Structure 1
Amino acid sequence: MTTTLTTADDNFHPRGDDPWWTETVWFAWMVPERQLLGHYYLSFRSNLGVFAGGVTVFDNTAELPWELPFHSWDWHQPIPGGLDLRRAELDNGMRIVAEEPGQRYHLTYRHRRGLNLDMRYTATHEPLLTDEVPPFNKGHLDQIGRVTGEMVLHGETIPIDCFAMRDRSWGPRREGPQPRAGYTYSALPDGTAFLSVSVSNDHSDEIRTGFLTRDGIQHRLVAGDRKVDRDRDGRPATVRIDAVDEIGRSMAAEGRVISRQVLPVYSSMLCWNSLVEWTVDGQQGWGEDQDVWHPRKWRQFKESSIGSDIA
């Protein structure tokens, strides 16, 4: 996997006139010793002239957005005229500066009621570029990097130094029924890492894309599955990934959920975001699992499992 990113890849992509054309920017960070995971997320409906998103921080004290240590999410905000995502500053306090194309980003956030952020993301792995592979709808970029800096949460300064994911997507993203999916990753201090993107059916969670980095070599995943054990409320409790990459290397990762939140990212998407402690190749690391549902499908799942032992 060798990819050259240019400065144009950090800005808005060419689009047609589809009103559902969507461009997203996402960075994650974590403080494992605090059981804390944060998301920095923006979604632009460029042809409609509006954006949504914000910043959310959770730990093991709460799961619902309005009970988290911090959650501020905007909807239907006007996109500033002439906005360039390589140096974007928004009225909600979010600011992104692309210091080196596809490699280094400076993220800041200022909120008068609870959170200030000053973080730098530096890529440590090659990006995975995916084009129209379900569940993605056109273009998608996923890349692990090191995130350093600090956050000031309700007056307390908390250092940040972790490995976490960023992604970018562009293409039509319609509201409505969508497949149940899983987005799962981990990065270890020695450079070992994986990303698994799966789509669920009645029998399994089939891995459609992703990557494995081992001994400094990164290749795309071509087969495998994601298995989730759930608690009595249906929430992910443990996750296992078994996969094979395009040069025949196999991997097995076992993860234990440490903390989680439920986030309605869009009206047609409900996501259980989990901070996960992973064991990969016998080594311990940290990462995430995103358990993605259409709200109606989640409701049907809950109704069908009432009184049963889900796990």
Structure 2
Amino acid sequence: MIQDADIDFHPTDPDQHDWAETNYFAFFNAELGICGHLQALFRPNLGVVMTDVRIWRGLVNRSWDALYVANHHHQPMSKSLRRYTLPSGLSVEALSVRDYRVDYLGTDETEIHFDVRGIMPPYDIADPEMDPVTRRQMDGGFVLGEAYRGHWDMHARVTGEIRCRGETFPIDCVQVMDHSWGPRTETELPAMMWLGSYFPERDLAVHAFFPADPAASDTLSLAHGYICEGGKVTGLTGGQLKLTRLEYQPIAGIWEVEDADGRRLTLYGAAIAGGPWPVYPSVDVGISLMRWTLGGDVGHGLAMENSAMAYRVRHGAAARG
């Protein structure tokens, strides 16, 4: 179970140089085809932080066609995650484990200001009392790798506005935020898909992780996830994602899930915004704002699939001969 203490940095071996803690806040305006995020990745044993701020309008296939990009590496980090202001212009205040204030002052007449209010408790994928897949895997390792052994997700209402290159866009959406801690390599990070959706007419949110092998398969099997309906959270016991990609960019999917109560849902989705996200020089992500249908209801949420450049090179044209 996630506690208040999990807002902040977690104890680790001070010699573990690749230990990372992340804060991830995403937002969108589906009507305008706008999406974006703010990520802070801290390396507490090195005393540095990387921040990445991106905004997309529509769906693009080149990094430089994003509406806004600001990536800062190896800046001095804060002493706490409860309240911090970084040299990159990102400020975060944790009011509780479910509630946050996020502000960003960037370049090119760009600012971001919003409040995050959790609509559910944080979902701890490593807690066997909360996650039924983890209950089954306690003696069999951790399918997502050590980088995500410490991790929670939470659907939250995000309200505020962004001002990008002089234009102002209102934000009022329900989107997943997360926090991770653990050893995280930058060269061999295991490929995985992370995605969610919220259906306002049902007050229903769905979220899931899937290990990925994008060069070999378009069908992914569930690692962890949940359904949250009316504030009640139920862990997923199974699921499958049949993904359509343009190169490494998710553009459509059929998403099937089953929860611990035996409820089965099938979602059909297509990308309406997003693009490549080179989160590190050695890891790239395809991130998309997806429009999902569930019966006659429509929902939205971000989907992202990462894979290491080492993985892509192994499966690239030169490697194939």
**Whole-angstrom distance in 2 between the partners of 1:213 and 1:194:** 6
Partner amino acid, structure 1, of 2:124: L
Instruction: Return closer, same or farther for 1:271/1:112 CA change in 2, 3 Å cut-off.
Output: closer
Aligned-residue offset at 1:250: 1.2
Q: CA deviation at 1:217?
A: 2.7
Aligned length: 298
SS in structure 2 at match of 1:169: strand
Return closer, same or farther for 1:210/1:133 CA change in 2, 3 Å cut-off: farther
Equivalent in the alignment of 1:194: 206
User: Stretches of 4+ moved more than 6 A in 1?
Assistant: none
Cross-structure match for 1:230: 245
CA shift, 1:60, in A, is 1.6
Distance 1:30 1:136 in 2: 29
Question: Which residue number in structure 2 is paired with residue 11 of structure 1?
Answer: 8
**Aligned partners of 2:251, 2:94: CA distance in 1, in Å?**
36
What TM-score does the superposition give when structure 2 sets the normalisation length? 0.86
Partner residue in 1 for 2:73: 75
Alignment of 1:145-160 (within 5 A): 145-160=156-171
Which amino acid counterpart does residue 96 of structure 1 have in structure 2?
Answer: V
Aligned-residue Cα RMSD (Å) equals 2.1
* Residues 248, 286 of structure 2: 8 Å contact kept: no
Q: Distance in 2 between matches of 1:75 and 1:179?
A: 22
Where 1:296 maps in the other structure, the secondary structure is helix
One-letter amino acid matched to 1:15: T
Counterpart of 2:90 in structure 1 is 94
Structure 1 residue 266, shift from structure 2 partner: 2.5
Partner of residue 293, structure 1: 307
Q: Are residues 95 and 68 of structure 1, via their aligned partners in 2, closer, same or farther at CA, if it must alter by over 3 Å? A: same
What is the correspondence of 1:1-311 to structure 2 with a 5 Å cutoff?
3=1, 5-6=3-4, 8-17=5-14, 18-60=16-58, 62-80=60-78, 83-99=79-95, 101-131=96-126, 133-137=142-146, 138-189=149-200, 190-201=202-213, 202=216, 204-214=219-229, 216-231=231-246, 233=247, 235-299=249-313, 301=315, 303=317
Secondary structure of 1:75 counterpart: strand
C-alpha distance in 1 between matches for 2:211 and 2:2: 28
Secondary structure of the 1:157 match is strand
Shift in Å at residue 155 of structure 1? 1.4
